[in-house]
């Protein structure tokens, strides 16, 4: 039993002991590997962290150097240096500002139409001729022209604009580009003396039409620049623009006049040649009709960019206090700005612009002409400077000055002679 | 963007797997850390800052830091801070598990995109009373991005975009194991989850969408109602010198006849 135990037990014990030692070695090796791995990992981590720290330190140093360099360059930048202190600044380049003001001005004037109604011009004269018996007066004539309506369209040209000292000086041409007019013409002949035997007294009326002669007018003025409610406003300072509408009868109209007068007898036509109705009418119309475009129809132009007195964040509206701060005009740029504070919601700071109840939904109009009629331009036919009458014709009465007050469309006065229906020019 | 004094950056990647794993292992092995834990791709961020600064320096050397023409809007960093502060406090659940409350904003406009630091707290979301009081102070680092013209409001807008965060004052309140879980979980947040904290910013500069001319149909000087559209585009936006400089393109015109009198103002 003992022998067998000894014989069989010793190998088992040796095997068991070797197995334990083997396991022990494996565990030890594993632990050693883990320890080495852990140590290696920690070492690698430390090394990596140190390398990362070094990289970051280098990057930070590079960044700081670039910041300093940028700071120095900023100080030298004339545009940055010209910017005044304000919470929010808006800078407008000269060319851009010119373009914007030009667009506003020309856009505005391009929509202007001059309309004159019921203007009357009058010319009367005595026809005198030399005869072997001496000077004779075959008759008197009266030429009345009633302009029923004349329209002229303005077309502004390119704008020259210079910024300086709180304002922008502006000059540009305005052209009366096109237009048309229509008038009723009345010619009255009153024979005198022996002439009455050849030609009866008569009155003819006819309608004439024509176009407005294009003419260009220089305009010079300025815009005063100021800040209002966080927005730059350009207030126009221009003299009134006096435009002369000159109507040129069409060839069809002249043909109609000739036709109407041509219906008279031969002797009458000979007498009328002394008057030269066409020339008399041309001289009347050549003087034109003055229209005064008052400067006050040009309204302040608000630049389409400005500070807002509220902001909307994720559907909620927050009021801001906007205190206009700066307006600086440098040679290249116009700066305006304001301080903005959000703390004063609903109760603006002293001197601040009161915030509106909500964000404006749509843009306000920039150039706003007044909606009520402005004081009127004056149609002023220049009758006093009438040219010398044609040979054989003496001026008797110059055209009377217009009775209308500037800009008011005069009421239609009853014509002395009943007017014929259209197409029937001749009354007698 | 300055690192914390203790400088315990959790890796140099955006809040990602490795950094979060390392951080979690460290938390599991030790107690909850008492030092701030920052999860920010600092190296990447610095490289971006340098690239931005280099582009600004190159422009400045050409004398084109601010264009000589066109329209420029410059907003001081204090105004940006105030407007950002208007959107605060804001509380939202991110990643479905964490309630983040942001309360303060600090803005520095130096390096093209600027740096915004939002201060607040983070806690577990949900209705567990035991977790409810466990919170850590949080600083979210963000940049100002996507400056654009918002046609709806007619104003300039931007977006505060988080790029990293820092958990502060750990272990001073609440149960440490719970705090450890909170910090470890929040540190594992992925970048796109952090982006949930982004919010819009409105710059109080507005633009008209059109110029309008009211008509006048009486008298010898008549004006036809007309309008002129104004188109606004943001050409460039860069922060430097404590201001956000926005370069805009504005095109106006042409003038066209407006609606008949009944439709005008």
Specify whether B236 is located in the same domain as B154. Answer: no
Sign of CA dihedral A417, A423, A426, A427: negative
Q: Say if residue A11's pLDDT is above 70.
A: no
User: Contact A304/B110, CB-based, under 8 Å?
Assistant: no
Cβ of A318 within 8 Å of Cβ of B86? The answer is: yes
Cis peptide bond upstream of A310, omega within 30: no
Q: Which of B54, B79, B232 minimises the CB distance to A88?
A: B79
Within this chain, do residues B174 and B243 fall inside the same structural domain, yes or no?
no
Mutation target among B221, B244, B250, B263 for the A interface, most CBs of A within 10 A: B221
Average pLDDT score over residue span A329-335? 76
Q: Is A290 in contact with A242 (CB distance < 8 Å)? A: yes
Distance CA A323, CA A309 (A): 10
- Average pLDDT, stretch A376-391? 31
CB pairs under 8 A between A and B: 257
pLDDT at position B201 over 70: yes
Residue B199 lies in a domain: yes
Q: By residue range, what is the domain housing residue B160?
A: 16-64+81-205
Asked if residue B158 is part of any domain, the answer here is yes
Q: Whole-angstrom Cα distance, residue A44 to residue A57?
A: 19
Q: Do B50 and A59 touch (CB under 8 A)?
A: yes
Confidence band, pLDDT 50/70/90 cuts, at residue A92: confident
- B219, A89: Cβ pair inside 8 Å? no
Residue B44 CA to residue A207 CA, distance in Å, equals 86
In-domain check, residue B23: yes
Indicate if B197 and B214 belong to the same structural domain.
no
- To the nearest whole Å, the CA of A357 is away from the closest chain B CA by 15
Highest mean pLDDT among A321-325, A328-332, B90-94, B207-211: B90-94
Please indicate whether, in this complex, the C-beta atoms of B202 and A312 are within 8 angstroms of each other: yes
A362 at B interface, C-beta within 8 A:
yes
CA distance B97 to B102: 16
H-helix or E-strand spanning residue A78: helix A78-82
Q: How far is CA B240 from CA A74, B63, B81, in A?
A: 9, 15, 15
pLDDT, averaged across chain B: 77
- Select from B190, B205, B220 the last residue of a domain: B205
Question: Final residue of a domain: which of B205, B226, B245?
Answer: B205
Do residues B162 and B140 both lie within one domain? yes
Q: Evaluate if residue A384 carries a pLDDT over 50.
A: no
Q: What is the pLDDT of residue A330?
A: 72
Q: pLDDT tens for residues A146-170?
A: 888 888 888 888 888 887 777 888 8
* Alpha carbons A336 and A323: distance in angstroms, whole number: 12
Q: Which of A33-42, A64-73, B14-23, B211-220 has the lowest mean pLDDT?
A: B14-23
| Most confident of the following: A92-96, A263-267, A337-341 | A337-341
Plot region of A179 (φ>0 → left; ψ -120 to 50 → alpha; else → beta): left
CB-nearest to A314 from B87, B203, B232 is: B87
A363, B241: Cβ pair inside 8 Å?
A: no
Question: What does pTM read for this prediction?
Answer: 0.68
The backbone region for A68, taken as left when phi is positive above 0, alpha when psi lies in -120 to 50, beta otherwise, is: alpha
Would you call A418 helix, strand, or coil by DSSP? coil
Which chain B residues are within 8 Å of A318, Cβ to Cβ?
86
**Is residue A378 scored above 70 in pLDDT?**
no
pLDDT tops 70 at residue B127: no
Q: Are residues B107 and B195 in the same domain?
A: yes
pLDDT reported for residue B129: 62
User: A28-84: per-residue pLDDT in tens?
Assistant: 999 989 998 888 888 888 888 888 889 889 999 999 999 999 999 988 888 888 888
pLDDT category at B78 given cuts 50, 70, 90 is very high
Helical ranges in B62-133 per DSSP H: 77-86, 129-132
pLDDT per residue over A275-314, tens digit each?
Answer: 777 777 787 778 888 888 887 777 787 888 888 888 887 7
Q: What percentage of chain A exceeds 90 in pLDDT?
A: 4
Q: Confirm whether B194 is domain-assigned.
A: yes
pLDDT-derived band at B245, boundaries 50, 70, 90: very high
Average model confidence (pLDDT) for chain A? 71
Q: Tell me the pLDDT tens digit for each residue of A125-136.
A: 887 777 776 777
Q: Are A227 and A233 contacting, i.e. CB atoms less than 8 angstroms apart?
A: yes
For A361-375, A397-411, B130-144, which range has the lowest pLDDT when averaged over its residues?
A: A361-375
Which of A42, A56, A57, A152 should one mutate to test binding to chain B, selecting the residue with the greatest count of B CBs within 10 A? Answer: A56
Question: B64 CB contacts (<8 Å, ≥6 apart)?
Answer: none
Measured in degrees and rounded to the nearest 5, phi and psi for residue A355 equal -75, 145
Give the closest of A63, A71, A318 to B46, CB-based: A63
- What angle, 0 to 180 degrees and rounded to 10, lies between the N-to-C axes of helices B17-29 and B176-187? 170
B142 with B105: CB under 8 angstroms?
no
pLDDT digits (tens, 9 = 90+) for B157-193: 899 999 888 887 655 444 567 777 777 777 777 777 7
Peptide bond into B89 cis (omega under 30): yes
**B26/B107 same-domain check:** yes
Q: Do both B118 and B217 map to the same domain? A: no
| pLDDT at res. A3 | 47
Higher pLDDT, A232 or B246: B246
Domain contains B9: no
According to the model, what pLDDT value does residue B128 have?
66
Domain final position from B186, B205, B224: B205
In a domain, B138, yes or no: yes
Terminal CA-CA length for chain A = 173
Q: Which residues in chain B have their CB less than 8 angstroms from residue A66's CB?
A: 50, 53-54, 57
Reported as a single tens digit per residue, the pLDDT across A201-248 is: 888 888 888 888 888 989 898 888 888 777 888 888 888 888 888 888
Same domain, B193 and B212: no
**In this structure, are B21 and B120 located in the same domain?**
yes
Answer with the residue of higher pLDDT: B234 or A293. B234
B221 to A291: CB separation less than 8 angstroms, yes or no: yes
| Measured distance CA(A17)–CA(B15) in Å, rounded | 52
> Is residue B8 a part of any domain in this protein?
no
- A112 contacts chain B (CB < 8 A): yes
A399, A385 contact by CB (below 8 A): no
Distance CA B210, CA B204 (A): 19
Complex ipTM: 0.79
Same domain, B174 and B253: no
**Is residue B253's pLDDT more than 90?**
no
- Domain assignment present for residue B126? The answer is yes
pLDDT band, very low/low/confident/very high, at B263 (cuts 50, 70, 90): very low
SS3 A402: coil
Residue A395, classed as helix, strand or coil, is: strand
For residues B178 and B138, state if they share a domain. yes
The answer to whether the CB atoms of A291 and B220 lie below 8 A apart is yes
Return the half-sphere exposure (C-beta side, CA atoms, 13 A cut-off) of residue A407.
Answer: 17
CA distance A61 to chain B (A): 10
What gap in Å lies between CA A290 and CA A382, rounded to an integer? 9
Domain match, B48 and B161 both = yes
Confidence of residue B54 (pLDDT cuts 50, 70, 90): very high
Number of domains present in the structure of chain B: 2
Alpha carbons A354 and A319: distance in angstroms, whole number: 9
* Alpha carbon distance A373, B247 (integer Å): 41
Summarize the confidence of residues B111-131 as an average pLDDT.
81
């Amino acid at each position: 039993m003992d022998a067998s135990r000894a014989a069989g037990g010793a190998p088992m014990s040796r095997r068991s002991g070797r197995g334990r030692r083997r396991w022990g070695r494996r565990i030890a090796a594993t632990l050693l590997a883990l320890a080495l791995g852990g140590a290696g990992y920690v070492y690698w981590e430390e090394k990596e962290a140190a390398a990362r720290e070094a990289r970051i330190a280098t990057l930070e140093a590079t960044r700081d150097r670039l910041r300093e360099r940028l700071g120095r360059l900023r100080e030298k930048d004339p545009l940055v240096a010209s910017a005044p202190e304000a919470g929010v600044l808006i800078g407008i380049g000269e060319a851009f500002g010119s373009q914007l003001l030009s667009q506003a001005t020309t856009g505005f004037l391009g929509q202007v139409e001059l309309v004159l109604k019921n203007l009357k011009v009058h010319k009367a004269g005595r026809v005198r001729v030399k005869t072997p018996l001496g000077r004779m007066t075959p008759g008197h004539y009266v030429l009345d022209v009633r302009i029923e309506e004349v329209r002229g369209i303005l077309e502004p040209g390119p704008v020259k604009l210079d910024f300086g000292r709180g304002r922008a000086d502006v000059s540009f041409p305005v052209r009366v580009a096109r237009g048309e007019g229509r008038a009723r013409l009345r010619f009255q002949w009153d024979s005198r003396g022996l002439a009455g035997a050849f030609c009866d007294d008569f009155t003819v009326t006819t309608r004439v039409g024509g176009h407005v002669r294009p003419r260009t007018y220089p305009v010079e003025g300025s815009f005063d620049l100021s800040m209002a409610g966080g927005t730059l406003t350009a207030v126009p300072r221009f003299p009134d623009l006096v435009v002369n509408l000159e109507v040129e009868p069409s060839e069809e109209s002249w043909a109609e006049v000739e036709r109407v007068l041509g219906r008279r007898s031969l002797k009458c036509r000979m007498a009328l040649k002394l008057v030269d109705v066409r020339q008399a009418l041309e001289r009347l119309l050549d003087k034109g009709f003055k229209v005064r475009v008052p400067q006050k129809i040009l309204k302040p132009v608000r630049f389409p960019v400005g500070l807002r007195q509220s902001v909307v964040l994720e559907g909620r509206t927050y009021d801001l206090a906007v205190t206009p701060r700066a307006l600086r005009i440098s040679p290249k740029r116009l700066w305006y700005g304001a301080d903005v504070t959000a703390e004063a919601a609903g109760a603006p700071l002293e001197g601040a612009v009161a915030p509106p109840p909500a964000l404006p939904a749509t843009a306000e109009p920039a150039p706003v002409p007044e909606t009520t009629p402005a004081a009127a331009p004056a149609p002023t036919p220049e009758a006093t400077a009438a040219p010398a009458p044609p040979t054989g014709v003496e001026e008797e009465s110059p055209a009377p000055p217009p009775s209308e007050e500037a800009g008011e469309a005069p009421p239609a006065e009853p014509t002395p002679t009943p007017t014929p229906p259209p197409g029937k020019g001749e009354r007698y | 963007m300055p690192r914390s004094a203790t400088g315990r950056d959790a890796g140099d990647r955006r809040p990602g797997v490795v950094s979060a794993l390392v951080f979690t292992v460290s938390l599991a092995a030790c107690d909850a850390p008492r030092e701030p834990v920052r999860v920010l791709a600092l190296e990447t961020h610095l490289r971006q800052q340098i690239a931005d600064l280099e582009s600004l320096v190159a422009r400045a050397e050409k004398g084109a830091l601010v264009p000589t023409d066109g329209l420029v809007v410059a907003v001081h960093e204090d105004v940006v801070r105030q407007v950002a502060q208007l959107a605060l406090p804001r509380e939202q659940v991110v990643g479905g598990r964490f309630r983040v409350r942001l309360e303060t904003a600090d803005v520095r406009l130096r390096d093209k995109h600027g740096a915004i630091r939002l201060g607040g707290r983070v806690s577990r979301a949900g209705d567990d009373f035991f977790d409810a009081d466990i919170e850590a102070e949080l600083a979210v680092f963000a940049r100002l991005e996507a400056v654009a013209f918002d046609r709806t409001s007619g104003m300039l807008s931007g977006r505060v975009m988080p790029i990293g965060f820092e958990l502060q004052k750990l272990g001073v309140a609440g149960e440490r194991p719970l705090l450890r879980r909170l910090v470890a979980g929040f540190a594992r947040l992925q970048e796109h989850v952090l982006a949930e904290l982004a919010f819009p910013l409105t710059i109080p500069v507005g633009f008209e969408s059109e110029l309008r001319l009211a008509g006048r149909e009486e008298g010898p000087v008549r004006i036809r109602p007309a309008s002129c559209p104004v188109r606004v585009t943001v050409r460039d936006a860069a922060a430097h010198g404590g201001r956000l400089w926005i370069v805009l393109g504005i095109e106006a015109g042409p003038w066209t006849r407006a609606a008949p009198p009944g439709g005008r103002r």
